[in-house]
Amino acid sequence: MSPAAAGTEASQDARTRRAALDLPYAHVDDFYVDGSWHVAADATRNPVTDPATGEQWGSVPAATAGELDDAVASARQALAGWGGLSAAERAAYLLRIAEEIEVRAEVLALTNTRENGSPITETRGAAANAAGIFRYFASLAGWLDSDDIRAFPAGGAESVVQRDPVGVCGLIAPWNFPINLVVIKLAPALLAGCTVVIKPASPTPLSLRFIIDAVHAAGVPAGVVNLLTGPGRLGDALVRHPGIDKIAFTGSTPVGRKIAAACGELLRPVTLELGGKSSAIVLPDADLEAMASVLVRSCMRNTGQTCYISTRIIAPASRYEEVVRMVGETISAGRQGDPLDESTVFGPVAHRAQYDTVMEYIESAHAEGARAVAGGAAVDGGSLGPGLENGAFIRPTVFADVTRDMRISKEEIFGPVISILKYDDSGGSADEAVALANNTEFGLGGLVFGADETHALEVAKRVDSGSVGINFFGSNHAAPFGGRHDSGLGVEYGIEGLGAYLSFKSIHRKIAG
């Protein structure tokens, strides 16, 4: 038995574990529109499947065109009243939402794990992080409420810069982090004075209901926040709806291109946080023990289903096999199993379509000559524990001897696969490492590992990416996060992320005397 599966004999039957859960939402039949839950008009259902067991355990209704019209009309009706409040008044609501989310932390986490298979130790942090995002944006109310007056460079006049809400926003979320990737849109939109219609990803529509519960419990006025569920065509309709003023989307680059095209045609503002193929540059002086301590979080977080993680490791030739050994051993040591088990590091792939995609990439790597030093194959879920026989499990995989022209080196996999490339460090330069890191159509995240942090910072500045970490990677609510090139348009987080939900007007006036 592999180290990753060690100890699974004692695991509780996954079906028994799930039967004991007391989750308030499973099969639901309503939407949140105009401040209350409304039963869906159509009987069409979208299933919710637990990827660890293959069991369909929930379902949600699919919104009709008429229900989309109702939600947008509700948001439009609420816009003047909500936007007419001061930012400080809106911030007070955000702070109450944060408190209400934290009350729901455990049941939110359990529901999230059942939807997409993220380990419970990962989803347990979702509520605290979401609350932190609301509190951070609430702290920007003073900036939004302050006067912004700018003098003409030649003198004699000044400009009053007015910051208005952009309007009714359509928020479209992905399935990998269904809570926080909505909240990072919802919090700044609300503080800015916008109203919203939210469409969660089809595989993960239930955990987000706890955020809506928190919004309702916080007393947010009717119509400010609306939630609809449905398949991809609902998202398409939301993007093109004439009552929508802005779209914010997180998801794949191909879908993002279509949304960008539609918004360009409509001259509609859009924020896109898309795919990534980020690299971790290992400098010759890197502390590999320290790197090992952050490796899973930085390079295979959420079973590899994280947009910014550095799934390509670029190692110096002088230490290549040492890096390969460390990465292979560290990933192999992470336990794979039931994501509801507290000791699980790697869960299943979130759904069967993604499972098939990841397996295709693994097969291509074998065919192109990459060397699997960990994993490299699917897993019989039954070997991980009773009740997991039908789970979508893939062994966490590390490939060495990867070259820049291999598919796994160039394309986003979005699964538990790390590629290790080699660069020539014989001349003491990191030029080839930087060139390899920048040899991609994406530009979202990245890492530089090195003991000399001054040198590591110099290298990080040369990486063509929206965010780069030195010896660790973490998202800072106060700093902008966004992609370059095929990784997106615009940014989230920070005061810059708030600005994405504002429309600016300059009022010019003469200065008396």
Residue in 208, 247, 243 with CA at minimum distance from that of residue 223: 243
Contact predicate 248/189, CB 8 Å: yes
Section 476-494 average pLDDT: 96
Q: DSSP labels for 203-236?
A: T--STTHHHHHHHHHTTPPTTSEEE----HHHHH
Place of tokens 């979080």: 297
125 pLDDT more than 90:
yes
458 pLDDT more than 90:
yes
pLDDT tens-digit series, residues 337-376:
999 999 999 999 999 999 999 999 999 999 999 999 999 9
Q: What is the pLDDT of residue 513?
A: 66
204 pLDDT more than 80:
yes
Strands 371-374 and 397-400: antiparallel
Looking at the DSSP bridge assignments, the partners of residue 105 are: none
Q: What is the pLDDT of residue 171?
A: 98
Residue 194 designated active-site: no
pLDDT tens-digit series, residues 274-326:
999 999 999 999 999 999 999 999 999 999 999 999 999 999 999 999 999 99
Distance CA 263, CA 351 (A): 29
What's domain 20-274+489-503's superfamily in CATH? Aldehyde Dehydrogenase; Chain A, domain 1 (3.40.605.10)
2 pLDDT more than 60:
no
Provide the edge-to-edge strand list for the sheet that holds 502-510: 149-151, 157-165, 502-510
Section 7-20 average pLDDT: 73
Domain 279-476 has CATH 1.10.3720.10: no
Residue 273 designated active-site: yes
107 pLDDT more than 60:
yes
CA distances from 226 to 234, 270, 348, 477 (A): 14, 19, 31, 24
Task: Give start-end residues of each CATH 3.40.309.10 domain in the chain.
Answer: 279-476
Contact predicate 205/60, CB 8 Å: yes
pLDDT tens-digit series, residues 134-193:
999 999 999 999 999 999 999 999 999 999 999 999 999 999 999 999 999 999 999 999
Residues 6 or more apart whose Cβ sits within 8 Å of residue 431: none
Residues 6 or more apart whose Cβ sits within 8 Å of residue 321: none
* Active-site option among 122, 273, 412, 492: 273
Task: Give start-end residues of each CATH 3.40.605.10 domain in the chain.
Answer: 20-274+489-503
Ramachandran area for residue 34 (φ above 0: left; ψ -120 to 50: alpha; else beta): left
* % of the chain surpassing 70 pLDDT: 98
Q: Helix, strand, or coil here: 398?
A: strand
Distance CA 85, CA 194 (A): 11
Q: Helix, strand, or coil here: 28?
A: coil
* Active-site option among 169, 194, 263, 307: 307
Section 494-501 average pLDDT: 97
Q: What is the pLDDT of residue 512?
A: 81
